[in-house]
Amino acid sequence: MGLLTLPVAYVPYAMLGMDLLVSGVDVAAQSVSGLIVGHLWWWLIWGANTGAGGVERGPLADYARAPRWLRNWFGEREGVRGSSGAGYHEPNTDLYRPALETLRTLIRTSTSSMTSVPKPLKFLHPHYPELQSLFETWTTSEDKSLFADILSALAMTYSDTQPRGTLRYRLISASLMPSSSTIPEPGSWGHEYVRHLAAELGEEYTIRQEGEESPSSEKPKEEAVTVPGSIEDLHLLGLECARFFLGHNAEPDAVDLLVELEIVDRIADLVDVNTFGRVCTYMDRCVNLLPPPDDVAFLRTIHNVYLQFSKLPEALSIAMRLNDPDLIREDFNVSGNPIMRRQLAFLLARAQIPVEWLHPPPSEDADGEADFPEDILDSLSNTNLSKFFKEFGKELGVAEPKSLEDVYKSHLENTRGGLSANVDSARGNLAGTFVNAFVNAGFGNDKLMVEAEEGNSWVYKNKDHGMMSAVASLGLSLLWDTDVGLSHVDRYTYSSEEHIKAGALLATGLLNAGVRTEADAALALLGEYVTNQSLSLKTASIVGLGLAYAGSHREDLFALLLPLVADESTSMEVASLSALALGFVFVGSGNGDIISTILQTLMERDERALSEKWGRFLALGLALLFVGLQDASDATIETLKAIEHPISKQAQILVEICSFVATGNVLRVQRLLHLCGEHLEAVKEKEEAKKEKQKEKAEKKDDGKDENKPDDTFQSFAVLGIAMIAMGEEIGAEMSMRQFNHLMHYGDPIIRKSIPLALGLISASNPQLPVLDTLSKYSHDSDLQVALNAIFAMGLVGAGTNNARLAQMLRHLAVYYYKEPDCLFVVRVAQGLVHMGKGTIGINPFFSDRNILSRPAIAGLLATIMAFTDAKVFVLDKYHWMLYFLVTAMYPRFLITLNEDLESLPVTVRVGQAVDVVGQAGKPRTISGFQTHQTPVRLGTTERAELATEEYIPYAHVLEGFVILRKNPGWEDTMQL
């Protein structure tokens, strides 16, 4: 039963012992005689060295053979069992072919268990060296090609000592085959043979690319092998193997092989209607694991495959990820189906792709702009977004406005005596402004501003700059509703109070965010104030234009705002906000004129101006131009290195992290981690220097003051950069959170206060329990800067989720910080964010099943977080309106199904947590723990929806946002049957 294991040489003696114990001496004596006879026969006939080729080599071997006439009778030819390999030389060449065919058939048809080697391979293994020698003696012929094919299968058993033997004989077999014949496909030898061949192909290709085979210390017994054939031969064989893999549900193996051979683009010629979907899904998941430019090559290959099979929504989504205007235009215009074009228009509008990208180049068609029908333009411009959003709110029962008390729920707080006496009334009203704006965003019916009674407006319950944010909150309440919104805002533009007028300008920009209109009201109303003498009116109009036209790439704004950046006479505040507005409008464009102008400004401005707090926004405006462009930013980074000012390092990091946002690039993350550790080493050196020079304490103190002057803001940006680069995929995000934990323990104050912001960025509108618990711990930190940023990050993490656990945490924090007006203000803002849009609006920059990154959304998130890197001089001072930067990231998290006439069509859908099914066989469920709802329905960041029945067929590939459905002609209602 396996309890006792004996070497095979001792088994006869063990059996003898068993006979003696069980049956006595007589039976044991018979066993002894049998042992003697058996051993004599073995040594005399087979010889001492048994197993050498399986041939008799004993002194009496010739006497042990059967008579010749008997051997002839049974078909055994002379010389088949000769010694020294002579038996392999059959003089009759006519028998070669039948023997080889029989051998090949036996090997192919043999079967075995998963844990054992097929018997033909096991028995032929000892003969392999002599078969190799025999092969070399044969002349070139079709029989020799067949012999080589068999040897390639046998070579699998010698892969440890003769590497790449399978590949070598396979290529020899192909070269020996006459042109009139074709070699059998690799798959004829079975799946394991093809996998073995694929592994050797990759190994051989790597060796050839590197030039020579590196010696391996682990395998000293390997013999040097020369594999014939050219690189093209390897490619052709690799394509044959890939074709076999694709036909046997091994799509990942096919992709991996072609990646090793650097011909993954040729997989488009191999896939068919049954395999292309799984191939593209697997390749898509690999993109985040590849270094540039391989990731872009993968995306282009996926795009070509989707286009080949007329999967236009999928192809367009890949083109959007590539940010390639030409591909986007081709994909959008290739469809002749007007309904499909409407669906594609909804997808483009969600990402705020410039409409101008879809027009033919002027040289080809000067009148191309007039080609789109009105319904397509409405879809592209998000014209009906407000109407559908309000209907969505009614369906969910959240259309009624919420008051501040509905959000704060003060009756649930464990209030302390004298709490109300310590509240800063102006600061409390200001917090109420933002809470009201975020909670009632998009519904246009809040009680404080939109429907306030005459003479009882909330505006006048705020002071000075608080009035600006109060009026601007109108833009958020009336978000996307340009017609009604402008009429409400207009009356404030005539106010004599400068702050109120500035708020009206900002509100105009806010309510136009993400929406395009023919009237172009935002540019018409705000453009004239860009050159106004009043600083508040000028900055409000500049920021309003940036938010209203985020991602539009409008050339007329380029001419309007760029002179403000270049003019040295303008203040640093105006120049920086103008650069930031241009960054919003031209996000991800890599516009050379704007880049050169901002670089020139950074070079020409004096050191004092660059050292102002606004310098970071000037650098951010430059960085936003490179969102998603990866290596295209190298030249700009090199130029920035020439600037001798701390802002240079800040700008370099911002440009780098924006270029590689959501790519998961490991090397960039490592570099940023190194930057986070730079100051730690400097501190250690400084401490050692202090110990060595105890006598010069006074001088050292002065030196210490000088050493504290160097700006360490770049480390804050490096922490944020880790989150930005890792936010593209789950594994990278989880690993970055571990790094944040280490940095929180050992980092400097500048790093510690940035880590909560990074956590909020990496998990926006996605309240995972580990993140919430971590932020809850940081919100009680002894450093109020850390605590304040952690509270705001809690608002980002729970934005638009109505998360009950998070709401309770914030209520406890409101009590905990009742004596800290700054912290209490941020707690209130966070409460407003958690209930954003009454739970219907999110700020996560990813959409379309978390595959596509919205560039304007990441710009808004980053700009808001940038203000919190020094909250005391921005958000907690008079620039609290910077919280409205979040508007470009705000978008409803809904699924609304429409018929082909773009009218609401309620259908039954299942909504559950998204499940990764890449590489799984068959058609596994893509969601788990689902619930059945009727559309319209709200979707969480990590949730996915699928139709409950097959009554309708969606035009979109992902059920998210606006989805047009068509009736399934082959569907029959089982209830009617």
Q: Where are the domains of the chain?
A: 1-45, 96-209+228-361+372-376, 384-412+424-549, 553-659, 894-967
| pLDDT beyond 70 at 274 | yes
Q: Which fold has domain 384-412+424-549?
A: Leucine-rich Repeat Variant (1.25.10)
The string of pLDDT tens digits covering residues 635-658 is 999 999 988 888 899 999 999 999
| pLDDT beyond 80 at 552 | yes
Name the pLDDT band for 695 (thresholds 50, 70, 90): very low
CB atoms inside a 10 Å sphere around CB 697? 9
Cβ neighbourhood burial of 607 (10 Å; 0-12, 13-18, 19+)? exposed
Name the pLDDT band for 866 (thresholds 50, 70, 90): very high
CA 279 to each of CA 240, 244, 255, 815, 863: distance values in angstroms, whole numbers, following the listed order = 16, 14, 7, 54, 38
Average pLDDT over residues 865-885: 91
Q: Which residue has the higher pLDDT, 852 or 89?
A: 852
Q: Which amino acid is at 503?
A: G
Please list the residues that pair with 897 across neighbouring strands.
Answer: 963
Q: CA-based diameter of the chain, in Å?
A: 127
The string of pLDDT tens digits covering residues 312-323 is 999 999 999 998
Question: Percent helix, strand and coil across the chain, each rounded to 5?
Answer: 60, 5, 35
Supply the angle between the helices 498-511 and 465-477 in degrees, to the nearest 10: 20
- Please give the model's pTM, rounded to 2 decimal places: 0.83
Name the pLDDT band for 365 (thresholds 50, 70, 90): very low
Name the pLDDT band for 485 (thresholds 50, 70, 90): confident
What residues have CB less than 8 Å from 627, skipping those under 6 apart? 587, 588, 658, 659, 661, 855, 858, 859
Quote the strand ranges of 614-761, DSSP E: none
Q: CA angle, corner 855, sides to 853 and 861, nearest 5?
A: 100
Whether 727 and 740 have beta carbons less than 8 Å apart is answered as no
Supply the mean pLDDT for the chain. Answer: 83
Whether 829 and 795 have beta carbons less than 8 Å apart is answered as yes
Name the pLDDT band for 842 (thresholds 50, 70, 90): very high
CA 845 to each of CA 325, 539, 859, 894: distance values in angstroms, whole numbers, following the listed order = 20, 26, 9, 15
Average pLDDT over residues 190-200: 88
Name the pLDDT band for 692 (thresholds 50, 70, 90): low
The string of pLDDT tens digits covering residues 715-751 is 899 999 999 999 878 888 889 999 999 888 888 888 9
Is residue 929 classed as helix, strand or coil in its secondary structure? strand
CA 218 to each of CA 161, 201, 212, 214, 222: distance values in angstroms, whole numbers, following the listed order = 12, 21, 17, 12, 10
Q: Residue 457 and residue 32: Cα distance in Å, rounded? A: 115
Is residue 853 classed as helix, strand or coil in its secondary structure? strand
Task: Return the residue matching tokens 């909560």.
Answer: 756
Average pLDDT over residues 839-851: 91
Q: Residue 661 and residue 724: Cα distance in Å, rounded? A: 5
How much is the pLDDT for 190? Answer: 82
Q: Residue 914 and residue 932: Cα distance in Å, rounded? A: 15
Whether 562 and 597 have beta carbons less than 8 Å apart is answered as yes
Task: Return the residue matching tokens 């044959």.
Answer: 240
| Least confident piece of the model among 73-87, 139-153, 364-378, 900-914 | 73-87
Of the segments 289-293, 316-320, 353-357, 709-713, which one has the largest average pLDDT value? 316-320
| pLDDT beyond 90 at 775 | yes
Q: CA angle, corner 630, sides to 626 and 634, nearest 5?
A: 80
How much is the pLDDT for 49? Answer: 58
| pLDDT beyond 60 at 558 | yes
Residue 904 DSSP symbol: B
Is residue 229 classed as helix, strand or coil in its secondary structure? coil
